[in-house]
Structure 1
Amino acid sequence: MTYSENAPAASLRSGDGRQRTIGIVACSAEGAALCYRTICARAPALLGPHAHPEVALHGASLADYVVALEAGDLTGVGAIMLRSAEKLAAAGAEFLICPDNTIHAAMDHVRPRSPLPWLHIAEVVAAEARRRGVRRTALLGTRWLVDSAVYPEALAAEDIEFLRPEEDEKDEVARIIMDELVNDIQVPGSVTYLQGLIERLRDRGCDTVILGCTELPLVLSDKNSALPTLDSTRLLADAALRHAMG
């Protein structure tokens, strides 16, 4: 989303003239940091130089999430997310985002018990895909995410088809994400692999690609992708800004 630098800030705030405090439930440091930086970088176009809504961030250890994911324990994943939610509510957050696609698989366990409302990353991405007129999108992310119902449900609600990579491709993307990107390691050969995979998905009939891991936008964008990208990290940041402004 592109914001108008000339838009009056008062018209973009909540009804009482106050900006809502954003709570970020962090999972991986890289994805959370990119989302936070995006919020802070894009807000001045709305609010003036150096201004952004208040942001509270809490991150449990990524290792705790990985243990629960490897055990297939979505209730456990949800419990970790809820602990962050409780801490962010106590810190003054008024709504929550989670810049991690994978753990949205636990959202059914989270939303009914949460002290605060959530923006759902896949719902945000699917809404943008509909706005762009996407018909069939490719889905990249961890194997946990790609094999889950997170995006199939969100895309089905918008009547958009999707395609997963082949099994060996899922494994390699997952390795690149978990061994490299979440650890702030960017390997040129891995980027080349991802670019080649997107070309293959284009040839299989996809018209866009969802960067369904919040670290993938660190190395992929419209500039180096054979398909237009749906950047889940920055789309979530944009949605959070819109919601904070009311």
Structure 2
Amino acid sequence: MTRPLPIGIVACSSEGAALCYRTLCAEAPALMGPHAHPDIALHGASLADYVAALERGDRQAVADLMLDSARRLQAAGAAFLVCPDNTIHEAMPLVRPHSPLPWLHIAEVVADEARARGFRRLGLTGTHWLVRSEVYPEALRSRGIEAVRPGDAERDELGRLIMDELVMGVFRPETTARFLAVIAGLQARGCDAVVLGCTEIPLIVSDANSPLPTLDSTRLLARAALRHALAQAR
């Protein structure tokens, strides 16, 4: 009997990693049968270590943390890796050449979904590090899709709310309203969908309340991991 490839989750924030893990376990039974899901291993370095590296702009230190998790997950039996954290994908060019295992790239997964759904101009939300980076613009540009960033003040405000509240499991109605207002502004600038480019944003924003169709990076990554694990079953 073939078995799906074991999945390794490189965690950064607890909320994003938990949502990815829950999605894998909740959606696998529809593909594999009752209660079934691939083997899953998870490792996360301290979020404080990631934040310290991000604040000093040290991409190599971020990459080193990710690679340490990759090696631990390889030892735990993972066959490939996902990271349900958009921000630290800025270090991925430093990670992939030295990784003991292959990775699915969250922005590439989202970009593929956007192209499949026919979106052409995407608003971008996420931490201030992610929004000012080229992680999504590069992935989208290669697929003929334009990325639109919020203004600098909105970028910094949403970044603060993510780090001070969402990653801590604090979900206030006022914060949700602020995110929705920024998304409405992106809609007014001609965007036809919005990337929820922080793995905690889907905890407060979805198609049910967003002015624009949403691309939920966390769940899209988990679903891509399931498809890959099953397609490469051994």
User: Structure 1-normalised TM-score?
Assistant: 0.93
1:59-74 to 2 correspondence within 5 Å?
59-74=44-59
Q: Determine whether 1:177 maps to 2:162.
A: yes
**What is the aligned counterpart of 1:82 among 58, 64, 67?**
67
Question: C-alpha offsets along residues 49-84 of structure 1, whole Å, 9 cap, x if unaligned?
Answer: 111000000000000000000010000000000000
1:25 aligns with 10
Q: Secondary structure at the match of 1:115?
A: coil
Q: Could you tell me which residue of structure 2 aligns to residue 123 of structure 1?
A: 108
Alpha-carbon separation, structure 1, partners of 2:114 and 2:2 = 31
Letter in 2 for 1:170: R
- Partners of 2:161 and 2:172 in 1: how far apart? 9
Question: Residue 142 of structure 1 corresponds to which residue in structure 2?
Answer: 127
Amino acid at match of 2:95: V
Aligned equivalents of 1:118 and 1:94: distance in 2?
A: 9
Deviation at 1:149, TM superposition (A): 1.0
Shift of 1:141: 0.3
Cα displacement (A) at 1:229: 0.1
Structure 1 runs of 4+ aligned residues shifted over 4 Å read: none
Partners of 2:26 and 2:39 in 1: CA distance? 13
Aligned to 2:142: 157
What is the deviation of 1:17?
2.1
C-alpha separation in 1, matches of 2:136 and 2:169: 25
Distance in 2, matches of 1:64 and 1:160, equals 34
Q: How does 1:202-221 map to 2 (within 5 A)?
A: 202-221=187-206
Tell me, yes or no, if structure 1 residue 92 matches structure 2 residue 82.
no
SS of the residue corresponding to residue 61 of structure 2 reads: helix
1:200 offset after TM fit, Å? 1.0
Equivalent in the alignment of 2:88: 103
In 1, Cα distance between the equivalents of 2:137 and 2:47? 25
CA displacement 1:110-146 (0-9 Å, x = unmatched): 0000000000000000000000000100000001001
TM-score normalized by structure 2?
A: 0.98
Quote the Cα distance in structure 1 between the aligned partners of 2:38 and 2:29. Answer: 10
Instruction: Give unpaired runs (5+ residues) of structure 2.
Output: none
- TM-superposed CA distance for 1:38, in Å, is 0.2
Give the distance between the partners of 1:194 and 1:114, measured in 2 at CA.
35
In structure 2, which of residues 161, 173, 183 is the aligned counterpart of residue 198 of structure 1?
183
RMSD: 0.7
Q: Do structure 1's residue 37 and structure 2's residue 37 form an aligned pair?
A: no
Alpha-carbon distance in structure 2 between the residues aligned to 1:160 and 1:172 = 26
Structure 1: tracts of 5 or more residues without a match: 1-15
Match of 1:93, as an amino acid? A
CA distance in 1, matches of 2:138, 2:182: 24
In the aligned structure 2, how far is the partner of 1:119 from the partner of 1:190?
30
Structure 1 residue aligned with 2:36, among 41, 51, 62? 51
| Secondary structure of 1:25 counterpart | strand
Distance 2:90 2:32 in 1: 34
State percent identity of aligned pairs. Answer: 66
